[in-house]
Structure 1
Amino acid sequence: MSMEILLTPPLAFLVYLGVSLGILGLGKLLAPPEKHSPLKDSPYASGEEADVTFAAPGYAPFFLVAFFFAVVHLGVLILGTGDLSPRILPYLFGVLLTLIAVILG
């Protein structure tokens, strides 16, 4: 009976939280004092000066790729959960048209 209570999710979370905070506190006790310096706060790129511009302008370049894989996963879900009957053909045709539209832009 006592092991069942110990394994309930709220109590297990509290035990895990206590252990995690204990490890965090122990790590802070063992760490040396922090000394701030301009070199420590600056970005490092193998000895080269780091660019100050953004690497990617936003999520727009990745949106089409994410949408493509979302549609592919939807198509696999339709195939996996449905039976191979003529009822499924309109859905697969819609997924195919969507993929063609995403590929061609």
Structure 2
Amino acid sequence: MTNLLLTPLIAFLIYGLAVSAASGLGRLFAAKGHNSQFKSEPYASGEDYDPIPAAPGYRQFFVIALFFAVLHLGVIMVGSSDLSSVTVIYLLGLILALIALILG
């Protein structure tokens, strides 16, 4: 019986039923609201709404994403190596790459 419950399909169905039941109970106990004009307006912490959307650049995001990608892949490579002299050279290259990313 326990092997049957641990199969992915049966476990997914049981989980789906449990989530559906919890969602149904949440809707049953939730307070009933009424529509107002403030429910459809954008909220900006009490400030007036600016119709011109801000368009931030992604340059800072890409630098940080590349930094963590290099860092994580470097840790995977060093962690799976046998700590030979080639690993030390790889670590030095990794440190130089991370310094270059930090300094821009």
Give the alignment's TM-score, normalised by structure 2.
Answer: 0.74
Deviation at 1:59, TM superposition (A): 3.0
Any stretches of 5+ residues in structure 1 without a counterpart? none
RMSD: 2.4
Any stretches of 5+ residues in structure 2 without a counterpart? none
Show the 5 A alignment for 1:64-75.
64-75=63-74
Q: 1:41 to 1:58 in 2, by over 3 A?
A: farther
Poorly superposed stretches of 4+, deviation over 6 Å: none
Structure 2 counterpart of 1:96, one-letter code: I
Residues paired across the two proteins, number: 103
Give the alignment's TM-score, normalised by structure 1.
Answer: 0.73
Show the 5 A alignment for 1:15-30.
15-30=14-29
Structure 2 counterpart of 1:64, one-letter code: V
Provide Cα deviations, 1:57-88, integer angstroms capped at 9, x if missing partner.
14332110121122122222233222221122
